[in-house]
């Protein structure tokens, strides 16, 4: 009798879960961005969120929860109810944060992949007053000076720009002092104000500022030039092929979210990414639309984790 009762409970739970997933979405959905407004992740999240609201016929609220290099927002989502109404849109920090710090307040497995959304190269930028026209000249000038130290702005520990600084340290054999800010847009502001020597952010964030003459682009951390900044050389062209990294943006959900809902959100993301308006926004900013299955996103993150673990060790980035 007890065994039969257990079976009935399991069957009821499965049935209720399935019915609940079929009714999804029945109310407002919150997408958490773990950085301040204005950065790459925020821009991608808002662009996709606007299209998702149309496709899912429910309000999509974007909620910025910055702090600790993206960990505050990520932990909030990881500990949220897995009912399909709270998602995280984040970047490389999903795989890199735990490589360099051990104070994360949730486990990696507390978040599950939904979709890889976009990939954008990082652009290493300098203040307009710097005489170098590219990264190679910057490094040559730096080594000719008495100070072999670079103050490098990042949006926080474990973020893509933090790893750009680590890759630069290894490739150019220079001393890098990474300074954390709340967002990518804040790092650009600090660079313009002369508070730091270098910064790096996605083409999504800096292309317009480079074209407006607000900052100087020294290199693109990719193996091909960006469509939004075709005159800026790649790190590979300049003799630093190991400085290769992108800003990926993906969507995650709390572990335990029904599989049916994860699949429905994945399919909605695929449709949103194919919207002519969305594609135009990303293409103009040099951002590559990716998409794909939940499994392919999980595989991509694992490969990036293994690759960047070596960088974290070699550049002594672990805190």
CATH 3.40.190.10 intervals, the chain: 121-220
Its pTM stands at 0.84
Question: What does the block give as tokens for 43?
Answer: 């821009």
pLDDT at 210: 96
pLDDT band at 179 (very low <50, low <70, confident <90, very high): very high
How does pLDDT run across 207-256, given as a tens digit for each residue? 999 999 999 999 999 989 999 999 999 999 999 999 999 999 999 999 99
**Alpha carbon distances (Å) from 179 to 151, 156, 165, 187, 286:** 7, 8, 10, 9, 26
CATH 3.40.190.150 fits 26-119+248-314, yes or no: yes
Task: Identify the CATH homologous superfamily for domain 121-220.
Answer: Periplasmic binding protein-like II (3.40.190.10)
Q: How would you class 188 by CB atoms within 10 Å of its CB: exposed for 0-12, middle for 13-18, buried for 19 or more?
A: buried
Residues of the chain with CATH 3.40.190.150: 26-119+248-314
Q: Convert the pLDDT of each residue in 56-67 to its tens digit.
A: 999 999 999 998
């Amino acid at each position: 009798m007890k065994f039969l009762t257990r079976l009935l409970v399991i069957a009821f739970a499965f049935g209720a879960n399935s019915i609940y997933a079929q009714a999804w979405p029945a109310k407002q959905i919150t997408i958490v961005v773990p950085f301040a407004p204005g950065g790459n992740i925020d821009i991608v999240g808002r662009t996709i969120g606007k299209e998702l609201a149309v496709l899912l016929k429910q309000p999509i609220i974007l909620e910025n929860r910055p702090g600790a290099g993206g960990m505050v927002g990520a932990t909030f989502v990881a500990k949220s109810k897995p009912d399909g109404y709270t998602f995280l849109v984040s970047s490389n920090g999903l795989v890199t944060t735990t490589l360099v710090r051990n104070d994360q307040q949730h486990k990696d497995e507390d978040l599950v992949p939904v979709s890889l959304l976009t990939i954008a190269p990082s652009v290493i930028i300098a203040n307009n007053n710097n005489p170098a026209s590219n990264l190679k000249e910057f490094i040559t000038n730096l080594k000719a000076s008495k100070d072999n130290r670079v103050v490098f702005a990042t949006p926080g520990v474990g973020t893509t720009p933090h790893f750009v600084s680590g890759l630069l340290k290894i490739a150019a054999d220079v001393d890098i002092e990474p300074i954390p800010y709340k967002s990518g847009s804040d790092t650009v502001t600090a660079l313009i104000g002369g508070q730091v020597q270098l910064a790096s952010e996605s083409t999504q964030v800096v292309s317009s500022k480079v074209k407006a003459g607000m900052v100087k682009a020294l290199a693109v951390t990719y193996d091909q030039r960006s469509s939004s900044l075709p005159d800026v050389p790649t790190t590979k062209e300049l003799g630093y092929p190991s400085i290769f990294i992108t800003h990926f943006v993906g969507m995650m959900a709390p572990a335990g979210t029904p599989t049916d809902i994860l699949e429905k959100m994945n399919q909605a993301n695929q449709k949103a990414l194919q919207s002519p308006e969305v594609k135009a926004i990303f293409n103009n900013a040099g951002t590559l639309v990716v998409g794909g299955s939940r499994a392919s996103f999980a595989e991509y993150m694992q490969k990036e984790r293994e690759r960047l673990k070596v960088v974290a060790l070699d550049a002594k980035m672990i805190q």
